[in-house]
């Protein structure tokens, strides 16, 4: 697990408001395991969602049969994500490219 909320806050504080995320297609590659505060992650995801054009989350577990996004990080982030995609194979990464192209 990582500290996704803290990392996202650092990105937004340094780069997000300066325009890097403004109007961008943002892709987060993570399994959603949050070691930090999931509330902080939700707050930062809400802020990112206000800045970005599209927010995509690529989770390598999402392609597994029976996967449910119940880990604290992914559960906190999902309300602010435009798409949850699998990222466990070349085919799913090709799908990601198509989603980005359409965004």
Q: Domains of the chain, with CATH numbers?
A: 4-102 (3.40.50)
pLDDT in tens, the chain (103 residues): 589 999 999 999 998 877 889 999 999 999 998 999 999 999 999 999 999 999 999 999 998 899 998 989 999 999 999 999 998 888 888 989 999 999 8
Task: Give the per-residue pLDDT at 84.
Answer: 94
Task: Give the per-residue pLDDT at 1.
Answer: 56
Task: Give the per-residue pLDDT at 93.
Answer: 87
CA distance 20 to 30: 20
Write the CA distances from 35 to 3, 55, 80, 103, integer angstroms.
Answer: 5, 21, 19, 31
């Amino acid at each position: 697990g990582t500290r996704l909320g803290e990392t996202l806050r650092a990105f937004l504080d340094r780069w997000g408001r300066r325009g890097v995320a403004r109007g961008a297609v943002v892709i987060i590659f993570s399994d959603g395991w949050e070691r930090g505060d999931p509330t902080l992650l939700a707050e930062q995801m809400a802020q990112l969602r206000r800045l970005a054009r599209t927010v995509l989350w690529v989770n390598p577990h999402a392609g597994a049969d029976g996967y449910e996004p119940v880990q604290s990080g992914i559960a906190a982030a999902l309300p602010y994500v435009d798409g949850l995609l699998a990222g466990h194979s070349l085919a799913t990464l090709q799908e990601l490219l198509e989603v980005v192209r359409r965004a």
